[in-house]
Amino acid sequence: MTITQHHHWIGGKDTISSKGEFFADLNPIDDSVYADVARGTATDVELAVQAAHTGFEKYRRSLPKEREAWLLRAAELLESKSSEFIDILVDEVGSPLLKAQREVETSVGILRSAAGATRQLTGKTLPTDTSGRLSMSIRQPLGVIAGISPFNVPLIKDIKHSAMPLATGNTVVLLPSEYAPVTALKVAALFAEAGFPAGAFNVVTGYGAEIGDTLTCHPLVRMVGFTGSSRIGHHISALCGKHTKRYSLEMGGKNPLVVLKDAELEKAVQGSVIGSFLYQGQICMAASRIYVDESIHDAFLTKIQAAAKNLGMGDLRSPSTMIGPIIHEKQRNRIRQHLHDATSKGARLRCGGNWQGNRCEPTILTGVEDHMLINHEETFGPVTSVYPVDSADEALRLANASNLGLSASIYTSNLTQAMRFAEELEVGMVHVNGTTIQDEPHIPFGGVGDSGFGRESTDPDLSEFTEWKWVTVQHS
């Protein structure tokens, strides 16, 4: 296999790193080198931000019909090139085929939703106490928006961190995860082919620990959108507060899935398997805490264990494969640490816990208690814990016993209980009789507490990426 080299995308062209250095982007299936990618520096970030700032002066005056056409064209191109993007997602970040296909489909929808939003940038006429005055408000783009995207759904997040900023007349500098840079550069090529002008979308690749703060703190960056860990999210929040920048954070989750005694057991098991093990658990919405009424606990446990043991771990391009490799050694060690900590303190391993190469088998624990790391920290692997509860009240109390409030599910046939949980769960998203992992282009996606700040969606983004301005005209 030929190892390709990739440079930054700045000002509409490939741009060599200022130091001419590269880093190895590894295929997580066996840690072989997938690509050599430009290792960005503070100088490269400066160049990208300046390119975006220069491009903004013209791009902000682009017409809604132009931005709409570019976004729709990008969606069409993404559909036509879906196999190319799927191949990258499989080889660069270890996505099983069905997950990669779904990621492409979702990204197409995000682009089309953003295209529609170009015509929703409306202001207001306002009442005024001054005679002979016309009073109105208008919305204008902010300027340069920084996006920092993760490895786990890189295509979705690269698109999310760019489509709505571009739809609202802003320009973008994207810093992708060092584990998924080729996906971001492929998006840059897609946008260029779709017709976006030079400088509207820029990508700097490298290590976030080395250049992330430079991008976040740059005086020309007006807003930062971040998807990643809670620890880094808090760091970015502090930097943005210090420099008076807007920011949006989509961070980690420790998502509860509740199964009450009147739930349809088969649907609850299916939702729990998908929620816990899709993309080998490397999803912020993964169901890692499952609370089951004790009257059906044993039956549920038997069924979910059987389902977990039969999940495919073969060729990533096979539709029957659900479990792929964990992205890198640091993350693999985190999973091992959590499992060792739990089992050494008395938790019972019901299935899984073993490794096949870089893949961790689907793992289910019982007997997990509060003093174990896995009870409250995000594992980000194919690991879930099942807890018996004696009532709906206990399930709700335990579900809310976390500072991470992203997504939650409740399985029940009792509408009153369903709506009670929907109102009282301290999370950003609640799904009744559906799994914790769900997303659509237009919904307000995000969490509360340590899971996030702000929402990703067309409606919130219209306000997030624009500035209100009051205008008066004295006509008599």
Chain-centre distance of CA 188, in angstroms? 18
Residues 6 and 22: their CA atoms lie apart, in Å, by: 9
Active-site residue, from 92, 284, 361, 456: 284
Helix (H, G, I), strand (E, B) or coil at 319: coil
Helix (H, G, I), strand (E, B) or coil at 7: coil
Chain-centre distance of CA 256, in angstroms? 18
CA angle 268, 271, 275 (to 5 degrees): 135
Active-site residue, from 92, 250, 361, 377: 250
Give the strand pairing for 452-453 and 246-250: antiparallel
**Residue 237: partners with Cβ closer than 8 Å, 6 or more residues away:** 247, 249, 453
Q: What is the sign of the dihedral through the CA atoms of 195, 200, 204 and 205?
A: negative
* Residue showing tokens 């296909």: 101
**Residue 142: partners with Cβ closer than 8 Å, 6 or more residues away:** 170, 222, 223, 246, 465, 466, 467
- Cβ-contact 250, 446 below 8 angstroms: yes
Burial 207-222 (b: 16+ CB within 10 A, else e): ebeebbebbbbbeebb
What is the DSSP track for 36-54?
Answer: EEE---HHHHHHHHHHHHH
H or E stretch including 304? helix 297-309
Structure tokens at 382: 């194919």
Residues 138 and 468: their CA atoms lie apart, in Å, by: 6
CA angle 94, 455, 10 (to 5 degrees): 60
250 is catalytic: yes
Q: How many CB atoms lie within 10 A of CB 149?
A: 30
Residues 260 and 414: their CA atoms lie apart, in Å, by: 9
178 is catalytic: no
Which residues are annotated as catalytic? Answer: 250, 284
